[in-house]
Structure 1
Amino acid sequence: MPKIAADGKNLTVLNLFSTDSAEKQDSLLAAMREIVDAAAYDGWRSSTVHSGQTKFGTANFIQWRSTEDLEARYAGEEFKHRTLPLFGEITTAIRLLQNEIVYAQQKSGDESTEIGPARDDYTAIDLYGVMEKGQDDLIDALGVSQEWLKDVPGYRSHTVLRGLRGRGIEGKWVVVYSQWDSKEAYDAFHDLPAEERTVERQKTDARVDALAVWRDSNTYRVVHTRSAAG
């Protein structure tokens, strides 16, 4: 199973696809599986495919050796003339996000987070738009300032990613990739009324509200993964 950590070893690409029906989501997943299973690109390290739960859509969490390797993939004829047109037919939005992992926290205390279909994680991916001058502060608010999450029932891990470059998105962003025991645990945390939240959480929420200029999120189940040999 791929592991993710704030060790600076990989360029992390998060490809987010939105669609408008269960049938199109199934088509997206099938196409993504085919691409992942055939992947042999120079510098490609792993891909992990996620199936949307709250909203129709998919996510692909991809690790690359470098930006140069990724851009070589984007410049290829297959990507330009087959992959993008195919996804364009069955999606309502495409975001191809290049990121660096800047913070990782696990309830277990492990140094890295495993992702893969062999686990039973209920996964949330939260995307926050931010002004460039506020990106570092938002990373702090969403990362180290949320150590209190370790005490939340059902919480497993969260990873904060700094947005670097992207297609289908404007400005700067921060991503939070979090894992939970179950949908019920995530919903209990997410839907808790503001007045019932801890003081620490209320302070964090206020910081995030002051910094984020827009938000988007979905929840997922991991359905497929593959890593490069060696």
Structure 2
Amino acid sequence: MPFINPEDGHLTVLNLFKTDTRPRVDTLVKEMSKIVDTAAFPGWISSTVHRGEEKPGTLNFIQWRGMQDLESRYNDSEFKHHTVPVFREITTYVRLMQTEVESSLRHPALGDVTEVSPARDDYTVIEVLGVDPAEQGALVAAQAGAHDWLVDVPGYRSQTVLRGIRSRNLEGGDRTLATVGTDRDFVVVYSQWDGKEAYDAFRTQAESEWSAVRRTFRAKRDSLTTSADWNSYRAVHTRSATEPAAV
């Protein structure tokens, strides 16, 4: 199963898809899973498909050896002439985010490594935070520091902070990808919780009931972010390069 470890040095790509109906989410999961099951791309390490819970959509958490391998995949004829048209048809929004893991921390009860797996029952929350590239480092540091007080929040399991490198979508001409925004203008936070009830209790807690450290963190984060988008997910399908591809 995939593990998140900053020391691995993987390029982590988060392919975020939104759509407008639950049946289209089923189609997205099916199409993404077919790609995962047959993947044999040079430099590809693992993929884990996540189904959107709060809002319709999916996210594929993909680990690559490096940028050159990913670019080779994007330039592949099958990607341009099959993958891009299929996902254009069934999505309302696409963002392919290249990132590097800055930190991955867990509740002390959960051991030494963050695992991403459908075999677990994690309620996963993924936030995409917009930021001025000049402030990206400060936002990464502030968000990583939140783990120190999140460990006392009921239901919290882990938090991974990923530094954004570059984003793309499917809107380029002739089945190519287009760049979104500017390089290093976002940060992704991937967190795991016991369940929806625990996360909702945390998210909707009245501000008057926040601890002083949470209040300070939120003020700092709000001063650094230019936008924020989130959804909750369940990991539903995974495969690593060490496992055989489907025939």
Tell me the TM-score normalized by structure 1: 0.98
Which AA in structure 2 matches 1:150?
V
Per-residue CA deviation, residues 41-94 of structure 1 (Å, 9 max, x unaligned), is 000000000000000000000000000000000000011110011000000011
Measure the CA separation in 2 of the matches of 1:111 and 1:147. Answer: 16
Q: Secondary structure at the match of 1:151?
A: coil
Q: Secondary structure at the match of 1:59?
A: strand
What's the offset of the Cα at 1:144? 2.3
Determine if contact 1:8/1:100 at 8 Å carries over to the other structure. no
Measure the CA separation in 1 of the matches of 2:9 and 2:135. Answer: 25
Measure the CA separation in 2 of the matches of 1:110 and 1:170. Answer: 37
Cross-structure match for 2:29 = 29
Q: Secondary structure at the match of 1:142?
A: helix
CA RMSD after TM alignment:
1.0
Cross-structure match for 1:144 = 145
Measure the CA separation in 2 of the matches of 1:110 and 1:62. Answer: 23
Question: In the alignment, does 2:232 pair up with 1:219?
Answer: yes
Determine if contact 1:103/1:144 at 8 Å carries over to the other structure. no
Cross-structure match for 1:175 = 188
Cross-structure match for 1:111 = 112
What's the offset of the Cα at 1:166? 1.4
Cross-structure match for 1:135 = 136
Q: Map of 1:59-208 to 2, 5 A cutoff? A: 59-108=59-108, 110-168=111-169, 169-171=180-182, 172-208=185-221
Measure the CA separation in 1 of the matches of 2:122 and 2:106. Answer: 13
Per-residue CA deviation, residues 96-124 of structure 1 (Å, 9 max, x unaligned), is 00000001110036332001100000000
Q: How many residues align?
A: 230
Cross-structure match for 1:20 = 20
Runs of 4+ in 1 over 3 A off after TM superposition: none
Identify the range of structure 1 (211-220 vs 162-171) with the bigger mean alpha-carbon deviation: 162-171
Q: Percent identity, aligned pairs only?
A: 51
Measure the CA separation in 2 of the matches of 1:112 and 1:79. Answer: 33
Identify the range of structure 1 (27-36 vs 6-15) with the bigger mean alpha-carbon deviation: 6-15
Identify the range of structure 1 (101-110 vs 205-214) with the bigger mean alpha-carbon deviation: 101-110
What's the offset of the Cα at 1:182? 0.6
Q: Secondary structure at the match of 2:124?
A: strand
Which AA in structure 2 matches 1:210?
S
Which AA in structure 2 matches 1:131?
D
Determine if contact 1:49/1:58 at 8 Å carries over to the other structure. yes
Q: Secondary structure at the match of 2:181?
A: coil
Determine if contact 2:147/2:159 at 8 Å carries over to the other structure. no
What's the offset of the Cα at 1:145? 4.0
Measure the CA separation in 2 of the matches of 1:142 and 1:18. Answer: 25
Measure the CA separation in 1 of the matches of 2:113 and 2:137. Answer: 22
Per-residue CA deviation, residues 11-41 of structure 1 (Å, 9 max, x unaligned), is 0000000000011111000000100000000
What's the offset of the Cα at 1:170? 1.2
Q: Secondary structure at the match of 2:47?
A: strand
What's the offset of the Cα at 1:8? 4.3
Measure the CA separation in 1 of the matches of 2:229 and 2:32. Answer: 22
Which AA in structure 2 matches 1:225?
T
What's the offset of the Cα at 1:6? 1.4
Which AA in structure 2 matches 1:194?
E
